Amino acid sequence: MLTFHQGADGFSVLVDRDRIVAAGRKLAPPDGARVRAWPGELRPGALWTGALPDAPSARERVYAALRAGATGVVLDADADRQDPELRAAATRVGMGSAAGRLAAGERADFAVFDDFDDACIATVVAGRIVHRRR
């Protein structure tokens, strides 16, 4: 299913399953596409490097990175690299090991940031909304 994500600044991406089909400022949603109008700016997903935030479980540590707008993670801290639960949690949600790019043909990994306080509103990994601030 096609999903059209539009930021408050007019930049939009059209996503088909896990790929960006089109990206730019003068896009219009095609007929039948689901439309998501976000109250912030769409940005490429960030790559988290270093130790993940402390939390009670591996799943919550990964989710903390998603809440910050990360769509990829490099487990380079010794403790993280040796934690199979942490690696499994990142893989389960679909986090890759590279930063996202907002361009046609790229995997749909991006985040939406609030214009007011620059906080992450939503994170999309492989075309799926995996974090949404309420």
pLDDT single digits (tens) 81-123: 678 888 889 999 999 888 889 999 999 999 999 988 999 999 9
Sheet containing strand 40-44, strands side by side: 40-44, 110-114, 120-125, 128-132
* Confidence (pTM): 0.93
Residue from 120, 101, 102, 104 nearest 112 by CA: 120
Where in the sequence is the domain holding 123, given as residue range(s)?
A: 2-132
Domain count for the chain: 1
Cα atoms found within 13 Å of the Cα of residue 87, Cβ hemisphere only: 10
64 within 8 A of 131, measured Cβ to Cβ: no
Q: Give me the phi and psi of 100, to 5 degrees please.
A: -80, 165
CATH number of residue 21's parent domain: 2.30.40.10
